[in-house]
Amino acid sequence: MPPLRANQANRYLAYREFACGSATVASTPPNLQIARNNVCNFHCVYCRDHFPGSTAPRHVVNEERYQELLEMVPRADVVSFFGISEFLVDPRFFELVELAAQAVATLTVNTNGSVCTPRHVEALARYPGRLNLVFSVDAASPAVFLRIRGGDFWRVVGNIKSYLHGLRGRHDRTSVVMTFVVCRTSLPDMLPALYLGRTLGVDHVRYYLMHEYSGMDWKTVGADGREFAYRDECVSLFPDEYARVRAEVARAADLLGFEVELPAVPIALPVAARAQGQP
């Protein structure tokens, strides 16, 4: 029997320490999620990190802390790169992917799809382990995409197509997901997004609702020059409309035999709560 890889031995050690209720552990996280920085080339209107008046600085994890993270990668079963950042613009993207490849860890990459070079495609196509690729799109038309994400819709669609073409030889070890955040602006694009994902060849489309809790009530201006009022875009203000479109998406997915994930219909907020901006 071949010796266990470092991440396999670490996983069994973690299981044992958990089962024994160890107060002091020698294992490191088998499931490791890393965001080396909070730098992103998009300024999505619903992003908490970009709301008007935000003082959140753009920063990168210092080298000492980064090296500590790197030491954990060979011992992890699952390595995920996502956060309030765009991993594919990170200059150390290829170094991190190669390190995860050496551990044959499951690699999860969340991206806005704005970056696609032959080198990026090749690095993911030759990845030896399981690959989960998640594209955040949130629209199925140029106008909605520009308003919400502020980017070039057709460029992103073309990039997704390029990645899928490059990954076609390893489909049995790859999961490609397109995600869609539902708000008042994007609601009309929910059903077209299903057809877009199906046409591109992603494995499934995953829908989310915008977060609703106190403090999420700012107003900003989208790349289309129009105001975006966060609270007014929340689905709890129009649950019946969402329920109708949700049912259309579910029915279309069933007829097409296509996998989707749809959030439940939220409870409508009372008028008084809406006026006070309560969750």
Please report, for the chain, the start and end positions of each structural domain, with discontinuous segments joined by +: 6-276
Q: Which of 132, 153, 149 is nearest to 202 (CA)?
A: 132
Share of the chain above pLDDT 70, in %: 94
* Beta strand pairing call for 131-136 and 174-182: parallel
68 has pLDDT over 90: no
The mean predicted confidence, pLDDT, of the chain is 89
Q: Which of 87, 99, 80 is nearest to 38 (CA)?
A: 87
For residue 272, the model assigns a pLDDT of 41
Task: Give the CATH fold of the 6-276 domain.
Answer: TIM Barrel (3.20.20)
For residue 279, the model assigns a pLDDT of 47
Contact partners, residue 243, CB within 8 Å, separation at least 6:
265
The DSSP H or E segment spanning 209 is strand 204-209
For residue 212, the model assigns a pLDDT of 87
Average pLDDT over residues 206-235: 90
Phi, psi of 24 (to 5 degrees): -120, 130
Average pLDDT over residues 162-176: 94
For residue 69, the model assigns a pLDDT of 83
